[in-house]
Chain A
Amino acid sequence: MPTLSPSAFQARKCERGVGLVDQMQAGDRRALSRLVSIVENGGEDSRRALAKLYQYTGRAQIIGVTGPPGAGKSTLVNELALEFRRRDTTVGILAVDPTSPYSGGAILGDRIRMQPLGHDPSIFVRSMASRGQLGGIARATGDVVKVLDAAGFNKIIVETIGAGQAEVEIAREAHTTVVVEVPGLGDDVQAIKAGILEIADVFVVNKADREDAQKTQRHLQAMMQLGGAPREDWPVPIVMTVATKAQGIEAVVDAIESHLSHLQTTGHFVERERQRVEREFRSILQGLALDLVQERVGPEQRAAVVARIQARQVDPYTAAERMLADALGVAELK
């Protein structure tokens, strides 16, 4: 990590043209860390940063790790990172924990299990609060992933919050989704949420040192057989691990690498990327349209329209069309 005196840091902030993105590209980890905060906080600065660094993105493999609370996700991510390093691969980690709905604050504890990653400059660990977003990741997680991608990490691992639901959001952001299950969460197939079949590219049965691990594996197998033909022609592997003893880790990393090759050789990689980019572009467009309307139509006027909708004097579809047409300065949308 390059060291800077406080005054040097301030001075570099002011140098024209040498912004945080340039500093990050030159390997400055503090600039990276600052950029993550800026992007996490959103707004105009975030948009400018993303516009500048987008050209450097698209190179990393994005790996989602999801599963119920306490399944051993952080312990596993720690071991995966160590194994990637043994294979000379650099790793950025983003660990998401829930924001308290009462205070808006959060305790981000995933890092406790990642202490062995230590002082290695080829590993970067960042904790992130979900900030009210449902679905296991924060609204800005995808954008923060871009910052890590631009910084040049080969693999980016995103640990979702342990909600125990099918975390569809992470599967949309990631190339490879690792679903962690543990023995003893209930014996019938129902206990394992059906939705995870649609998102898992690799199943891990962690805590295989516990009783009933084989049973959990058999249930997963049975579920997949019920699920019919494999999605994207990829037979989802099931790997048994004991993360606390670093057992089974190589097999998980092998499975993650095989999945990447599979996506690439079959053309699914390009297709997934296209879908992701399109979805993202659409949501940005929606956001911009909303911003535009809010900018050009005053709050009283908007409130008045809402009141008319509530009074059933106009329907929300027609009202929205009219307001967008007004904001765009056209007589009619269609």
Chain B
Amino acid sequence: MGIFEKIFRHHPPWGVHPDDHKLPAANAPLRSLPLPALLYVPMQQHVGSPARPVVLVGQHVLKGQLIAEAQGNVSAPVHAPTSGRISAIGEVTAPHPSGLAQLAITIAADGADTWCERLPVDDPFALAPEEIARRTAAAGVVGLGGATFPAAVKFNLGRRLKVNTLIVNGGECEPYLSSDDRIMRDRAAEVVDGLRIVMYAIGAREALVGIEDNKPQAIAAMRVAAAAFGNVQVRPVPARYPMGSDKQLIQTLTGKEVPADARAAEVGVLVHNVSTCAAVHRALRRGEPLVERIVTLNGGALTRPGNLLAPIGTPVVDLLRFAGVSGRPARLVLGGPMMGIVLPHARVPIVKGASGILAFDAAEAHVAEAGPCIRCGSCTRACPMGLLPLEMASRIGADDLAGAAGFGLSDCIGCGCCAYVCPSHIPLVQYFSYAKGELSARERSKLRNDATRRLAEERVARLEREAREKAAAAARRKAERDAAKAAAGAAARPLPVRIVKPASEAAT
């Protein structure tokens, strides 16, 4: 960083600057986890419909073999993370605070870790962009930054909307985490190759790699790897949480603001995470589906924090053991401390989106008592979306959810900046997620009620119509009968006058 950059380095007017706690974990060399004996591979590791198992219990599978196929338009297939025998297809605890059960395929590893047949592509740029999207989808690649949106769906969207700029997210603004940092340092060439393949797949003309300036080694490695490609620029961005949020990174790198009801692709940019790009590289160049990832193990309760290369489906407890737990962790978090979720216990498997497992000691897990809002405005200054968290929270506290929505609740990205700075320790994000959930539940039940009412109204209308039609039909039949009777009578008795008269009455 030049002297001028240092002096004039401005930070954006939003966000917070938490203690990053990335060291020493980020500097520890990447280690590979010894193969676990049992792997629990969940069917729902992505946004969209869960995958559907295509293997049977007892069947032997090879590493990388398809074990569950995608269902529907937004979904992703799942592959065997190692070779072994399918020992069960059933429910396991999901990596989610609810501790709910979820369908997973259990594989008893045979220890050989034998790959299935891989179909590497020598020159991905010779393929059609659609073919790259197809292969990426088939390899089960999803957004590895945490959003876990199926990558290929975004490729197709980008191509359709003629996206010009690919933004590669190397922000990794969450404290404690360093898996993206590590992949940029250790596999920069793979990341750059992957992002070039992504550019080609979406038809982008340039790629901007945004990396927070607290990762100088990653920036240097990426610069070297990207040096040969003029359309790939590595751009250091100020280390400020939530820089790794798509909207904030887009704004910082391009000055563009994504309109509230639009997708980033509609303003000509598409964001992919660095680890996702590396996974695309592997899927294409090596024909390897996404079966492993780098997970940051960090937190005060660990004796050997660092980054581990681990197969998908590894139980968290195996990772913790490898990283050395001292005492009993006071809290386990999946993801970063700002937006991560609490794990119910350590017997849950890691999934494709698991960028980190944090084991907090008692001090880190300390939760301060919440006090009243002193209207200090810190939350407003910190909010990257320009919201007024204190106003929304006070509305929600008074059960005025519509009022909170009027203050822009739907624009809240749940980044946690407001709750982080609040001197009264008000659990603002909890208020907001509660209110968002409640509002969408009400919306759903309103839709349901509307639908029920419409059905009921339609039924009433139908019954009335049927009754009317029946009555009309009855009247018609009666009239016909009467007419027939009258005609018969007329034929029997010549009394024309009496026939003419009702006819003339009918006419009046």
Q: Do A and B come from one complex?
A: no
